[in-house]
Amino acid sequence: MCCRSFPNVDLSWGEYQLLERLGATRLHFSLYGPHKLIIENGCEFLVDNRCGIYEQRPEICRRFICRSD
């Protein structure tokens, strides 16, 4: 749900750098606020409806609880 439900997610500088190294193409760098990964219309790291960077996913993604109910 999270990977498709929001226009973007906030990233720390370290997360921004990591995702850049992993090949992210939808990053937004900001001088004044949090950096962002644009996930509108689905995160670019979704592979067959699963997180392709699960072990390296951002903290905000780790905190999102997804339940089927």
pLDDT surpasses 70 at 16? yes
Contact 24, 15 (CB under 8 A): no
pLDDT surpasses 70 at 14? yes
Domain spans, the chain: 2-63
Give the global pTM. Answer: 0.87
Contact 61, 6 (CB under 8 A): no
- The two structure tokens encoding residue 15: 């997360």
Q: What percentage of the chain has pLDDT greater than the value 70?
A: 94
Angstrom distance (rounded) from CA 67 to CA 46: 18
Q: Give the tens place of pLDDT for each residue, 23-50.
A: 999 999 999 989 999 999 899 999 998 9
Contacts of 14 (CB under 8 A, 6+ apart): none
